[in-house]
Amino acid sequence: MADERLCVGVIGAPRGVRGELRVKSYTADPAALAGYGPLTDESGRREFRLTVLESKGDMLVARIEGVAGRDAAEALKGVRLYVARRALPPAGEGEYYQVDLIGLRAETPEGAPLGTVSAVEDFGAGPLIEIVLGDGRPVLVPFTDAVVPVVDLGAGRLVVDAPPGLLEAPGRPEGDQG
């Protein structure tokens, strides 16, 4: 885990003609993104040093050292930014990094196995966890306190109190013979 790198943001569209970029931060304090030291791309081979110019929610406007024009900025669009896990502060009591959820056993409130957490996603309406059920089917579950009331990293599990029908296999519509 010492060498593990975590995705902390993604470069978006350029802003203006001087090489400024929009950057979506995945960190708790979005403006702190630049303070974690040099960030790398997914391969770990390219380094990026950011200077945050503006911050609005999780969106930043930043300059990246060595990026001087709109064309250079446009070429970076979509690059995911990574940092060594050791550069991040330790998670506080009752907190964890989303990557720590991947691989946890998912169980019902009664302790019956459901499957394994395979991903954490956020498409804009709030975080979802993807669980691969015992039958191999992936399902997306809202990652809220009501639906996932227990996360126990030490025991390697989380509890899913799914609303009725959420984990059911999609059935055929009535009358479908096909």
pLDDT value at 174 more than 70: no
Q: What is the pLDDT of residues 115-132, one digit of tens each?
A: 999 998 877 778 899 999
Q: Where in the chain is the domain with CATH 2.40.30.60?
A: 5-87
Q: What is the pLDDT of residues 62-100, one digit of tens each?
A: 999 999 999 999 999 999 999 988 888 887 777 788 888
Mean pLDDT of the chain: 87
The tokens describing 96, both together, are: 């964890």
Q: Report the topology of domain 5-87.
A: Elongation Factor Tu (Ef-tu); domain 3 (2.40.30)
| pLDDT (0 to 100) of residue 172 | 45
Q: Where in the chain is the domain with CATH 2.30.30.240?
A: 98-159
Residue corresponding to tokens 């029908």: 165
Task: Pick the range with the lowest mean pLDDT from 33-37, 144-148, 152-156, 168-172.
Answer: 168-172
Neighbours of 74 (CB within 10 A): 13
pLDDT value at 149 more than 90: yes
| pLDDT (0 to 100) of residue 85 | 84
- pLDDT (average), residues 19-46: 89
> For residue 15, what are the contacts with CB-CB under 8 A and spacing of at least 6?
21, 22, 61
Q: Is the dihedral of CA 48, 72, 43, 132 positive or negative?
A: positive
| pLDDT (0 to 100) of residue 81 | 94
Q: What is the pLDDT of residues 4-18, one digit of tens each?
A: 888 889 999 999 888
| % of the chain surpassing 70 pLDDT | 93
| pLDDT (0 to 100) of residue 32 | 87
Of 2.30.30.240, 1.10.620.20, 2.40.50.140, 1.10.645.10, the CATH number of 98-159 is 2.30.30.240
Q: Which residues pair with 156 in a beta bridge?
A: none
Instruction: Report how far residue 149's alpha carbon sits from residue 168's, in angstroms, rounded to the nearest whole number.
Output: 20
The tokens describing 68, both together, are: 């001087």
> Edge-to-edge, what's the strand order for the sheet holding 5-15?
47-48, 39-40, 80-84, 5-15, 20-25, 59-64, 50-56
Q: Is the dihedral of CA 137, 141, 146, 150 positive or negative?
A: positive
> Edge-to-edge, what's the strand order for the sheet holding 127-133?
138-142, 127-133, 113-122, 105-107, 157-159, 150-152
Instruction: Report how far residue 1's alpha carbon sits from residue 3's, in angstroms, rounded to the nearest whole number.
Output: 5
